[in-house]
Structure 1
Amino acid sequence: MSHLSHAEREAYTAAFLKLDLDGNGALDKDEFAVMCRALGFTFSPSTLDRLFNQMDSDGNGKITLDEFLSAMSHKSVEETREEANLRRSFNKIDKDGDGYLTAEEFRQALKLAGRTITLEHALKMVDKIDTDGDGRVSLEEYIAYGKSKKK
């Protein structure tokens, strides 16, 4: 956990303690899901399970404070700000709030911005960003694509 500054460690510990709703010193999957939503993340159930299991390094079905701190990355303020901006943009486009962007949602967002595109063009946009091939864009895919375009 030396990858975290003292201030980061204190902030993450305070956040963990607030999220540990039953006070047992660990986060279960429900508490983890609440944390993700509170931070503005909308994950599919399978992604939520995958992230939880990655953080639960001993596989006991609970995330301890040490596991939580080990998983926290030392991101720059600029990277954190960029991801927050992309998350806000995603949430504005995601009109039905299901955590995914469809071609029609892209088309409508661009229309509001004064740019009219065909549904076919919007489908091509989705295909370009959709890395798992499910025909829609998740928040993770949207952020990864947005960050890749800045490089």
Structure 2
Amino acid sequence: MANFTIAEMVQSNTADRLKISNNPPASVRVHLTETITLLESIRAEWEEYCAEHSLGTPAIRITSGYRSPALNKAVGGVKNSAHVAGYAADLQPVNGKQVEFEKFFATVFSRMGYGFDQIIIEKSKTARWVHVGYKRPEDGKQRHQCFSLKV
């Protein structure tokens, strides 16, 4: 059963509000499909983790997926963002267990042998999320980096 869709990966309240097109070209849709495959693996592993630790629903919300170049600029993203290439998603757990979600990525998922480029545990003054990059846009490499970043 699929938990994620391309529609979820391209949906953006910011794009809607600013009337910015966030419709990806065909080449990026292929990348989104690859990224969704990784997200499905994350969802399956998070489901097991939630069951083992009695954390409730394992549903995951995509807070930012694909960003057109115009949307990326509007939200202050870096020019070479993996989001623009369709190779990244920012995630939050629906169950609200953000600290456990971050711990899951840092101590469990990042060491399971899945291919990924970056897992970045991020927070701003008002929100926390986990950025998952599937491949580096420049060369398609997967660096297997996992670290925390304050925005």
Do they superpose with TM above 0.5?
no
Bigger helix fraction: 1
Structure possessing the higher radius of gyration over alpha carbons: 1
TM-score under structure 2 length normalisation: 0.30
